[in-house]
Each structure stands twice: as C-alpha cells, then as structure tokens.
Homo-oligomer: A and B are copies of this chain.
Amino acid sequence: MKIAFIGLGAMGFPMAGHLAKKHEVTVWNRTAEKAAKHASEHGSKHAKTLAECAGAELVFTMLPSSAEVDAIVAELGPKLSRGTLWIDTTSGDPEVSRVTAKRLAAQGIDFLDAPVTGAIVGATNATLSIMVGGTAEAFARAKPVLEITGKKIIHAGDSGAGHAIKALTNSIMGATVWITAECLLLAKRYGIDPRTALEITNAGSGRSNASENLLPLRLAEKQWPLVFKLALHDKDIRIAAAMSHREHMSTPLLNLTTSLFSGALHQLGDNADYIEVAKLVAAMNGDEW
C-alpha cells in the first residue's frame, strides 16, 4: 500500500520505519534532514513537499498537537483522492479531530484519531498500544496496518474517542504520579526510605504504572532524565479538563490536577520532564528527594 508518513519525531521515526518494511512509504518532515535520514536508513521515499504525499492511499500524522495536524489537513487534504484513509496518531484534541473527521468525510476521506501509548521504547519495538476513534469500517481498514507498529489495537468509539481516552488515561497517570509523590514524601518524613516505600507500594494496594515504572528511577535512583516533556503532558491533562468543561461535569480531582500541572509547568519551565513534578511536590514542602 502507498503510505505517506508525516512527522518524524522521536515516535514517528521508528513507526514509519516499521511500516517501510512492508509498504511503500513516503515520509515528510518539517525539518527535511530527518526525512532524508529516514529515507537513507529505512528505504522510504523522502517527500520534499507535502504535495508529494498526495498519491498515498493511507496518510499517517504524528505531530505535537492537533493544531499542527489541522495545518497539514488544510494543505494536503484537498489534494487527496476519495477513499484515502488518514490515521492521526498525534495525542490530539477530540473536539478538533471530530471537526476534522467531518470535514474530510465530506471529501470521502476517512479520518481516524489513533493516539499511541508505550513511549519511545514501544515505538522502537512496535509494541505500542493504539486507541482508535472513528467508524467501525475505517477501524477495520486501519487495523492490519496499525498492527505493524503496535501490539494492542483497540477501537475506543466514534470520532474523537481515541484522542479522548488518551488524554484521560494520561490525566489519570498525572494525578497518580502527584498523589504518590505526596505520600512518599510524607513516608520519608516518617523515616521510610523512598526505595522501601516504593517496594511496599508496589507490593500492595497503591500500586500503579507511576509507582512501578516511573517513580523508582527518580526517587530511588535519583535520576531525572528527560523522557517526556511536562509541557506535552500538561497539554493532555488540559485536553481532559476541557472535555470535562464541555460536558459540564464535576471532576474535582481532575480539576485540581490540572491546576497543579499548569502551575508546575510555569515553575519548572518548558524543558522539564513530566516526572519532575515530584520535585515540585518536595519544594512545596521545603524538602527534596
């Protein structure tokens, strides 16, 4: 199948690589060097202009936010043929993707919001989980291709549902990181070493992805690598908060988490890693890990 892949960041680069093993892949990237590199390493075709992507039967986007996707849709959309399938793997905004889907549907193009989870390692090893919003028919067309880049491909619901559940699960995770950091700092005040506290947490009721996979490196090993930007995590939580607002819901913990993360972003800066919020939890208490 002719596939165009747009957006060769840390996630998109390896994803497009997997696809290139089985399909005829054209890649486009705002910074052209990355596309050239991909072409030489993975045998894909480097598109110098977006227009060169117009012949694709399937278009992938993997961009920072729905705003960038929107811009690409505006430029490339009108050039695509009826029957094209567009899979947006960006962590986007469900409201925007609903509108985009409707707009493209009018042209006979299927649009799926299909954000991924599993981090760079999941993209590299093709073990991503992918949550998909759109029609059952479009999902059925997309599934075999998505299985090349991911392990668990789930149809979440109608258009927007993929972006919605991605924002929501990342918000759960954000809140869990924060409450776990609060409680482990309190444990430290009671003389319980973070390493021990994490071991006990992970053997018991408070266990989570945050306590098992995210916090040990930082709190026990004292390593704070930049794995995922706080600014991007904050964006996901804010998408969830906007969803709650739109649905006129009462979600006190989500709302407070939103404030805490936005405050953290302002205080820690644009280049902070998302788990560095744990440092702020300590700073708010005149403490450190």
Binding site for B on A (CB under 8 A): 94, 117-118, 129, 131, 152, 154-158, 160-161, 164-165, 168-173, 175-176, 178-180, 182-187, 189-193, 196-197, 199-201, 203-211, 238, 240-245, 247-260, 262-263, 266-267, 283-286
> Using Cβ atoms and an 8 Å threshold, which residues of chain B touch A209?
204-208
**Contact between B190 and A243, CB atoms less than 8 A apart:** yes
Kindly state the separation between the CA atoms of A184 and B171 in the bound complex, as whole angstroms.
11
- Work out how many copies of this chain go into the complex: 4
Is A164 a contact of B187 with CB atoms below 8 Å? Answer: yes
Q: What are 6 A-B contacts defined by CB distance under 8 Å?
A: A129-B204, A154-B196, A182-B254, A207-B209, A267-B284, A267-B286
CB distance from A201 to the nearest CB of B (A): 5
Q: State the 4 A-B residue pairs at the shortest beta-carbon distance, nearest first.
A: A250-B263, A172-B206, A208-B208, A169-B206
- Known contacts A245-B241, A255-B259, A266-B285; A192/B206 CB under 8 A: no
Specify which of B131, B179, B260 is in contact with A175 (CB 8 Å cutoff). Answer: B179
Whether A191 pairs with B158 at a CB distance below 8 angstroms is yes
Contact across chains for B190 and A94 when beta carbons are under 8 A apart: yes
Closest CB in chain B relative to A162 CB, distance in Å: 9
- Most B CB contacts (10 A, CB to CB) among A158, A185, A252 go to A252
Neighbouring B residues of A168 by C-beta, 8 Å: 183-184, 186-187, 197, 201, 206
In the docked arrangement, what's the CA distance between A267 and B255, Å? 19
Contact A186 B240, CB 8 Å, known A205-B117, A206-B168? yes
Verify A186–B256 contact, CB threshold 8 A.
Answer: no
- Is the pair B243, A186 in contact by a Cβ cutoff of 8 Å? yes
